[in-house]
Structure 1
Amino acid sequence: MKNIRDIVASMDMKVEDPQSVNWCRHRKHFFILSSAGKPIYTRYGDESRISGYTGVIQAIVSFFVDAEDSIRCINAGNHKFVFLLKGPLYLVAVSRTNESETQLRDQLNYLYNQILSVLTSTQLTRIFEQRINYDLRLLLGGTEPFLDNLATSMSDEPGFMLGSIQCVRMNKELRDKIGSILQIVKSKDLLYAMLIANNKLITLLRPKRHSLHSADLHLIFNMVNGSSTFRSAESWTPICLPKFNNKGFLHAYVCYITGNVCLLLISPDKDKFFELSDAKSIIVEELTSCNALQAIEEVSQSEGYSIADVGAAGLRHFIYKSRKHVQYTSPTFMAPYNDPHEKQKLFKLYRYTHDRMHSRIRPLKVHYYVSPTETILGWITSTFELYAAFGPLISKSALTNSSHTLLKWIKKEEENLFILNSQVF
């Protein structure tokens, strides 16, 4: 849950004057506007006070449209301007971070999908067909915290960069037991059932023919984490999952069954609240009777595993993505990366390595990078992606041995680190 300091800081960002020094100091800005130049959202400051900027953006885009072209990116000194044109909406990232054009455009796509989760593409198109200069803020009022939370999360959570989600490390037998209890929900109108703790997935049940895209899961996590109101009571909220169907709404029953663990039941039927609320009561009763609820809460409160558990000499930190399961795992940040500044520096190196590995011009299978403070390894195969940090003086042979030790440990712990087979209704 966000503390008071975080909330106050977020409020301060929204009252910043776009002409102020503080506003200009931010290393990355996001702007969303309509094709008519109407401001819709800005990460910092009040969007009603940036009409001058949105007017310039609209003019630039229109210049290229008139020339039967489409603008994608402008590099100006240390700044990168990345454009994403989605019908009646223009989304722009202005950044002086080390993020690439592709990485920034992926983030703009997430912001666009966040808007679709509230409106659907059908509604969005209809609104602007009827009135090209419509002020979309009238319909998005109250959703700014979700856009803000998403904009912040994309800067320091690996899942967005990797296009994957993280699972709670949990004993396989406990995870299977939880999944069996969720099977109690026998509604033909239930699409998905899941438990989430601290932006990590505990378990997921789905229909046999309907998987759930990681991008949609990120929107679900963002919805739950972006507002503290879900923690106070049972909630029933419409949500569009763009990768599932960007033209219609599903309906999500959201309830925290412990302090950290959230139950989500998603149905296409808007009249299923009371049925799913009754199902929640049964689920909680069953989880309590077999002591699984207490075990879930204990696991959710733990900080995860440490790099010492791996036992790989010289290894400081890593991110491992299972490409088959579209899930990643990573240890807690230990010294020197328990310092926020050092943690941010490490993530910048991971981003740089990821961009080099996934370059459209010359993609790499292995990337080896030595900085004054650490050695970074990037390694991609058909089954995994690995980004690992070692000390700056480690030899290549020692690095190779440690990497293989890590892979053996992940293989041994695979059933606890990942959901290998999603249970189906």
Structure 2
Amino acid sequence: MCVEAVPPPSSSLTRRGILAGAAALAGTMAVAGAAPASAADGSPAAGPRPGGASGGDLVIEGGTLLDPATGEVTEDAVVVITDGVVRAAGRRGSVTVPQGVPVLDAHGRWLLPGLVDAHIHLSTAAEAADAVRKGATSTRSGSTSFYQDIAVRELARHSPALAPRVRAAGVFVTPNLGETLLADPDLTPLVRLKDGVRSAEALRRVVEVNLARGVDVVKTRVNERAGVPEQDPLAQVYSREQLAEIVAAARKGGKGVLCHSYSERGCHDAVTAGIRSLEHGAFVGERTLHEMRRRGTYFTPTLAAIAGMIDSPNPVLAERGRTYLPVLKRAVLAAHELGVPLAAGTDSSGGTVRPIGREVELMREAGLPALDAIRTATTGAARLLGLERTAGRLARGYAGDVVVLDRDPLADVTALKQPVRVVRAGTPV
């Protein structure tokens, strides 16, 4: 079958119908009380949200404020948020506090910007709300089966207190799409491909359909999965040339690519093919890390997901966790020492949301200084997501997303695992 003979991805009418179905699956329509907003051409609507839900007004006072960008610590701080955006942040007396705005007393607490989970699978409104409660106010999707991450992204735009900010990846570019072929009539012709999504035409088609549905990034793989005992995570499923096709198609739409990877050869092929970030990467080698530094390729190791396998009742997965985790920790420290940019991601999926603070804890265990570990879930991850002027700091013009902690995270990063309060766009959660 020649995929190129199939008409290009359908019009905005099809897109609206598909995304409405995704919203129904994710449960976001019922939560938000409305379908995802769309402009006339089917693209996400911009500007104020229904009911003035763009953000709240709040003053947080008395806490100790940490700026991850500079490492500066400000005691007895005041953070002023209006319409969901930070208007001022600094020591008491240096900040003008508006009248009539709700006040959150943070005396004895530490204040950090909302955390960023750079690899998470959010398929339902319940998972999205859980991620926020655990401190992740900005996220990048690791893909979903039926575009549910796009629906969660729209929920966050309507009702930011209910979901984190999302960079959506849509459906996975992988050889076997399985039931994902049912997600979209523009994907169903691929069911006739005997070898799955492997030809240049088929690879481009899946990327193009994702772009037509409005994704922010594209997700693919170079190796099989570590979390499936029947698969060999070191087995390579795409060549460098196939990955380059995916990257080229994504770049044509102005998007970057994140790539699931494990073996050194796979990691090197993915990086030299031009991906934006390497995911998992347990056996990434020194030559690839040097190439990543040269290219500015990010490393999202998802340590928490690998550590989680250790407690699996399946002996194959438990052994992989025990074997892979120390190797991955060494790779993370080597990457940090070389200057490879790191981003924290939990790889949460299947209804279980790990706290992003656990990933920071494991970054610290790998040997990163506490501040640098915190940066992987704030300024570093925000930069990867293209949110460096929105997330990762509590400074004028940034999002009014805050985690309130019960102790100094520079002395004990485990404080990030259980925020005592989370504020999303100026609204306490």
Name the TM-score class by shorter chain: under 0.3
Give the greater-gyration-radius structure (CA): 1
- Could you say which structure has the greater relative contact order, defined with CA pairs below 8 angstroms and 6 or more residues apart? 2
Give the TM-score, by structure 1 length.
Answer: 0.24
- The structure with more strand, counted as a fraction of residues: 1
- The structure with more helix, counted as a fraction of residues: 1
